Amino acid sequence: MPAKNWLIMSCLLLGLLSGCGFQLRGSADLPAAMDRTYLDMPDRFGEFGRSLERSLESNGVEVVSSADQASSVLQISQAQFVREAASFSGTALISEFRLTFRVTFRLLSDQGDPLSSQRQVVLFRDYSFDSQEILASQREEEFLRGNLRNDMVNELLRRLEQLED
């Protein structure tokens, strides 16, 4: 197929995708109030905080170092992982764990007025556990924590996109 035909097909495909509301992952249409945002969270420099900051910046938000410099404050009051038994074997041993990541957040104006109500996002993954393979189970849990952090950042961006300006 000639190069010209590929170009035409690519343009048509992009037109169809944009017409249905498709957005490339990582491009969020965040409220204008978030142009300069301060992250108010317990562990801002932990893995979740750094990942959230990078994602906000890649979407055109300037993450500032103090609330005084901000046009909005993204307040995250809870970002917590919980691991609990999800199922048991016939011999009453744990065969699956559920890893839950719970984040509670709200968006405030630079004056401290709420731009959103307090909201909670809960994501979870189940994984198999074998007491004979504890190291493998620990590695799987670490991998799932990373996936849940990334998924949570994307979900927070989607929730923030839904806020009215």
The span from the CA of 33 to the CA of 72, in Å, is 6
The whole-number pLDDT of residue 74 equals: 97
Domain count, the chain: 1
Residue 152 lies in a domain: yes
User: Quick one: tokens of 129?
Assistant: 């556990």
Give the pLDDT of residue 31: 92
The answer to whether residue 15 sits within a structural domain is: no
Residue 94 lies in a domain: yes
In angstroms, the CA 72 to CA 37 distance is: 5
Range of the domain at 34: 27-161
CATH number for the domain that contains residue 99: 3.30.160.150
Q: Identify the pLDDT of residue 41.
A: 96
Residues of the chain with pLDDT under 70: 1-26, 164-165
**pLDDT at position 137, please?**
80
* Model pTM score: 0.78
Could you tell me if residue 60 is left (phi over 0), alpha (psi between -120 and 50 degrees) or otherwise beta?
Answer: left
Establish if 50 belongs to a structural domain: yes
The pLDDT value recorded for residue 24 is: 46
In a domain, 17, yes or no: no
- 128 is a domain residue: yes
pLDDT at 22: 44
Is residue 101 assigned to a domain?
yes
Which residue type sits at 120? Q
Instruction: Supply the pLDDT for residue 2.
Output: 61
4 domain residue, yes or no: no
